[in-house]
Structure 1
Amino acid sequence: MTPLRFYAARTLRNEPMLRSLSVPLSELVAQLGGKRVALVGNARSLAEGTQGAQIDAADLVVRINRAPMPAPESHGTRTDWLALAVRLPQADRARLAPGRILWMSPKRKRLDWRSAHSPGFYLFPLDDYQALEHELGAPPSTGFMAIRLLLEAPLATLTLYGFDFFASRSLSGSRSAEQVPHDFAAEAAWVEDRAARDPRLRVAPSAGRVS
């Protein structure tokens, strides 16, 4: 798709045309099968620990948005997939060098041409986003969307790092939980319940709090 056609589709909210740029969910599922996956959130508490080596030891490392990485000791170094809902500056794109971009935001006008045409690009369906929003009673966070997406696959394990559900706020900004539109209590409750029933899902302890 040419840049002109892409930006026209984005402006006119031509979802079928934008969807044509995405690989099918089946491709993600196939690649995740049997893998030990690390999903790295952006909680400030992660920077206080030393879980970087554990993160890098996973078969697949997924990070979120601009994915601040203060130190290899706390955050590791790899970014295989990037679950993205914000514009990605070139400096961050070069730093992270993700092997695959998953566009999670329903705000298609934020999607840039380079991300949409990157190898293995995946567009999170609007219907799935709206279903999660209805379930939570609030817009789902990018991290929660990624958890739900990854658990659709027959992966071996999914370990969450840097998920304290905004108890320590985010490395990406200074807003408090009350200043963002997500219901972190509902997301935390869902994860706790799912982890109790699904042995694949584990939340790595964050410094100062276990979620």
Structure 2
Amino acid sequence: MTRAGFLIARTLRHEDALMRLSVPQDDLLDDLAGRDVALVGNARALADKDQGAKIDAADTVIRINRAPMPAAASHGTRTDWLALATRLGDADRARIAPDRILWMSPKRKRLDWASASSDGFYLHPLAAHRALRDRFGAPPTTGAMMIDLLMRSRLRSLTLHGFDFFASLSLSGRRTAGQVPHDFAAERAMVETLRDRDGRLRIA
């Protein structure tokens, strides 16, 4: 697809055309088979911890949105995959330097050509977002969507870093829990249930 074709498909919400830009979900998940994965959230509390070395030691490091990394000691330095639900500026794209971009938001008009045309690009299906939205009674966070997606793979382990379900707010903004449209209690319950049922999931 050309850039012009992409812009037309995005504007007219031609979902089938946009999905053709994406690697198949099964192929994406196959890339994680047997791997230890670190999913790094943006909780402010992570800045006070020394988890950077453990993050960088994972086989695959996945970060979220603008992926603030205030210090290597707390956050590590590697980014293999970047899960996006917001526009990414050129400076942040260069700083994070992900090997693969996953567009998780149902808001297709925010998707940019640089992401959509990048190697290994993945577009999360609208039906998957709707399923979690209906489960929570609120739009899911990018983190919740990623956990739901990753646990469908044959990864060896998934360790969550920087996830406290907004208890310490986010490094990427100043909004409080009451100012964002998510149900963090429902998301915490989902994660705790998954952890209790599946020993591959760990919360650092």
Does the pair score TM above 0.5?
Answer: yes
Tell me by how many angstroms 1:34 deviates. 0.4
Aligned partners of 2:136 and 2:119: how far apart in 1? 32
Structure-1-length-normalised TM-score: 0.96
Counterpart residue number, 1:62? 62
In structure 2, the residue corresponding to 1:37 is in which secondary structure? strand
Counterpart residue number, 2:171? 171
Task: List 4+ stretches of structure 1 deviating above 2 A.
Answer: none
**TM-superposition CA deviations, 1:165-192 (whole Å, max 9, x none):** 0000000000001100000000001111
Q: Partner amino acid for 1:24?
A: P
Q: How many residues align?
A: 204
Q: Partner amino acid for 1:30?
A: D
* 1:126-165 matches, cutoff 5 A: 126-165=126-165
Aligned partners of 1:90 and 1:180: how far apart in 2? 26
In structure 2, the residue corresponding to 1:54 is in which secondary structure? helix
| Identical positions, percent | 67
Structure-2-length-normalised TM-score: 0.99
Aligned partners of 1:162 and 1:8: how far apart in 2? 37
Q: Partner amino acid for 2:54?
A: Q
**TM-superposition CA deviations, 1:100-155 (whole Å, max 9, x none):** 00000000000000100000000000011101100111000000000011111010
Tell me by how many angstroms 1:49 deviates. 0.6
Q: Partner amino acid for 1:162?
A: G
* 1:83-162 matches, cutoff 5 A: 83-162=83-162
Tell me by how many angstroms 1:3 deviates. 1.2
Tell me by how many angstroms 1:2 deviates. 1.2
**TM-superposition CA deviations, 1:56-115 (whole Å, max 9, x none):** 000000000000000000000000000000000000100111000000000000000010
Aligned partners of 1:161 and 1:102: how far apart in 2? 19
Give the gaps of 5 or more residues in structure 1. Answer: 205-211
